[in-house]
Structure formats: C-alpha cells, structure tokens
A = this chain, B = another copy of it.
C-alpha cells in the first residue's frame, strides 16, 4: 500500500464516485412511507437485502404468511424463489405487499447496501409500530452526529475503528440480544468496505477455541469485534483476547431496545466500512459490480 490517506482530507472523498456518503448521511428517515392502511394480522418474508429486516421483525411478526397482510421484502437475486413465495402469500393473505427493486414490487426500493433499514422502517410504519421506528431513527441520528466525515478522526469512532481494521479480518461476536447481526454486518462490510469477515456458527465458543488453540497463526489477521455485553460475549472476549490480534468492544450509544440497538450498531459499522473503503482507495459504492452480477443472473 502507498502512503495511507487522510480521512479528514476532503479530497479523499473523490474516491466515493457514486456519492454513497450522501446516502449514509441522510439515512435516518430516508424510506418510503406507507400511503394506506393494511389489514391485520401481519406476516413478513424476506429475500436478499430484505432478509435481515424480516429477521428483525420476527420478534413483532412471528408469522411469515398471515391472513391479513403479508409483506414480501423482495431484495436481491430471487433465482426463482420469489415466484413460489408470492403464490403462497397470495393464497394465504387478503393483501400481499411486495417491496423491492423488481417489476413485481408495488413499493419500489432500489438495490442498495443500506436498503435493510428502508425495508424495516416501511414495515414498522405499516404495522402500527411507528414509535419503535422513531426509536430506530433517533438511534441512527445519534450515531450520525458522531460518525459523519466532518467529525475529525480523533473524535470519530467509525474513522478510528476503520484505521484499526486495515488488512484485518473482522470476527463478529454479538450478544444474543442481536440475533443474526453478525450476518448483517458480513453483508455491509463486504458491500461497502470490500472486505470479507467471519460470522461464527451457533456454538461459537467451541468454534473459536478449537480452531485457534491448535493453530495460533490463524488468529494473526483477526480482529474480534464484540457487539453488546452478556455472559456469552464476556466469555468470548476471555477466550479471544490471547488468540486474535485485537479485541474491540462496540456498544450502542443511547439506543432504546434490541431493534434500535441492532440498527445503531449496523449503521456504525456501515460508516466504518465506508471509511475503510476510502483507506483502501476503493469506491465504497457497489452499483457497477452488482450490475455485472445482475447480468450474469439473467
């Protein structure tokens, strides 16, 4: 790598050819609003980019298909699965609302690394969980104030974290309070930060300790990113601190409840991924490469 760039130099942001900065900075509140009421009870199914918001909603909407309204979060490459899901939803539900980038979508949501937030917020408003949605937005707005490019490196947790992750492979260690957050972070870290990372399987403690104890060298490129605080994360920290290059604890600031906290952590890591791409002098956007993929998939 050449001389490392300066994240406080406005010229560096020219690498951001697609202006992803603007999308990140305006994200809190940037989502399509429901324009009508939908009949209860509600169910939700997610594909591709819609997968994580559907998981997050699982605590509110345990059903996938519902008699009243089923929301189909149809992001990404359905590869034929969408059609079957729609048929099943239409057989079961009085109303089926498809969100996504495709022609079958009633609510248009372009493919985008930040789309999971938008799917989530639409559905929260649509099912009468607007107060929870506002708590999510407050959590994101609080993060934004600290993370935006105008905040210099020494006061900016995302810039500082990005510096620590150069040429490292993140290993996501999340509290049970945030199920599937590691997988959501794998996605955003690849799509914006252009970097692979490792989400451990269930039974993560055995996974960490057996692999790293016998072959220590595997820990050299790893930074364990510990999200939240509970008996599992504390034990994981204990196991990992002598076995990986670095352990960083990341806690949500002032968010209220598991869903706002999970989104706040995700948003912090999205900004971190953004700065990391700039440190690699890569365009943080992914539109061009995903267009290629879309062509291959057709």
Please give, as numbers and ranges, the residues of chain B lying within 8 Å of A49 by CB-CB distance. 203, 206
Cα distance A75–B203 when bound, in Å? 9
CB-CB contacts of A183-214 with B at 8 A, as 1s and 0s? 11011011100111011111101111111111
- Known contacts A48-B203, A51-B202; A235/B184 CB under 8 A: no
Per the CB 8 Å criterion, the residue count for chain A at the interface is 56
Q: Find out whether the CB atom of A293 lies under 8 angstroms from the CB atom of B198.
A: no
Q: Does A246 contact B (CB under 8 A)?
A: no
Residue A238, interface by CB 8 Å? yes
Given A209-B290, A289-B209, are A187 and B215 also a contact pair (CB < 8 Å)? no
The answer on a CB contact under 8 Å between B186 and A207 is yes
Chain A, 39-58, CB within 8 A of any chain B CB: 48-49, 51-52
Interface SS, A side = helix
Residues of B within 8 A of A218 (CB): 195-196
Question: Beta-carbon contacts of A150-194 to B below 8 Å, as 1s and 0s?
Answer: 000000000000000000000000001000001110110111001
A283 CB contacts on chain B under 8 angstroms: 214
Give the nearest-CB partner of A290 in chain B.
B206
A286 at the interface (CB under 8 A from B): yes
Cβ–Cβ contact B79 & A282, under 8 A: no
The residues of B that contact A202 with a CB separation of less than 8 Å are: 48, 51-52, 183, 187
Q: Are B211 and A190 in contact (CB under 8 A)?
A: yes
Q: Counting CB contacts under 8 A, is A100 at the interface?
A: no
Give bound CA distance, A297 to B234, whole Å. Answer: 10
- Bitwise interface map of A from 68 to 90 toward B, beta carbon under 8 Å scored 1, else 0: 00000001110111000000000
Report the minimal beta-carbon distance from A9 to chain B, rounded to whole angstroms: 21
Complex Cα–Cα for A203 and B113 (A): 11
CB A288 to nearest CB in B, in angstroms, measures 9
A13 close to B (CB within 8 Å) = no
Instruction: Report if A232 contacts B (CB, 8 A).
Output: yes
Q: Mark A135-157, 1 if CB is under 8 A from B, else 0.
A: 00000000000000000000000
| A75 and B286 alpha carbons, distance in the complex (Å) | 41
Sample 21 A-B pairs with CB under 8 A, ordered by A number: A51-B202, A52-B202, A79-B231, A79-B235, A186-B200, A187-B206, A190-B206, A190-B210, A191-B206, A194-B210, A194-B211, A196-B218, A205-B293, A205-B297, A206-B290, A209-B290, A210-B290, A214-B282, A235-B296, A238-B296, A239-B296
Chain A interface (Cβ < 8 Å from any Cβ of B): 48-49, 51-52, 75-77, 79-81, 176, 182-184, 186-187, 189-191, 194-196, 198-203, 205-215, 218, 231-232, 235, 238-239, 277, 280, 282-283, 286, 289-290, 292-293, 296-297
Q: Nearest 7 pairs between A and B by C-beta?
A: A183-B201, A194-B214, A190-B211, A51-B202, A186-B201, A79-B231, A191-B210
